[in-house]
């Protein structure tokens, strides 16, 4: 099973390593905030879909559960493709 790493998480890791090495510039703060916002948006999107699926399950609406589960799977698939694109770009 592949673990998808969103490109914003990868860049956050790179920025953190630069910070630890002491090579983090003041100009990178704007970039850091951008990727923190992307991370926040992704977390809220995933959590929202999971909560909606759970609420639908509690209400006994399995059709809606399937809808939200499909949306989660589509999101996961898009992250995998983004990961593959980023990986192939780095290798070339």
pLDDT in the model for residue 66: 98
pLDDT in the model for residue 84: 60
In a structure prediction context, what are the per-residue pLDDT tens digits for the chain, which is 92 residues long? 455 667 778 888 999 899 999 998 888 888 888 888 988 898 899 999 999 999 999 999 999 999 999 999 998 888 876 666 655 666 55
pLDDT in the model for residue 92: 56
Q: Is residue 86 within 8 Å of residue 11, measured between CB atoms?
A: no
Residue ranges of domains in the chain:
7-91
In this prediction the pTM is 0.69
Work out the widest C-alpha separation in the chain, in whole angstroms.
54
| Residue corresponding to tokens 């990961």 | 83
């Amino acid at each position: 099973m592949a673990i998808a790493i969103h490109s914003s998480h990868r860049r956050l890791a790179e920025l953190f390593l630069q910070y630890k090495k002491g090579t983090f510039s003041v100009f990178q703060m704007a970039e850091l905030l951008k990727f923190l916002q992307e991370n926040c948006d992704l977390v809220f999107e995933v959590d929202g879909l999971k909560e909606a699926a759970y609420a639908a399950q509690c209400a006994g609406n399995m059709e809606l559960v399937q809808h939200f589960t499909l949306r989660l799977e589509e999101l996961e698939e898009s992250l995998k493709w983004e990961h593959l694109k980023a990986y192939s770009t780095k290798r070339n």
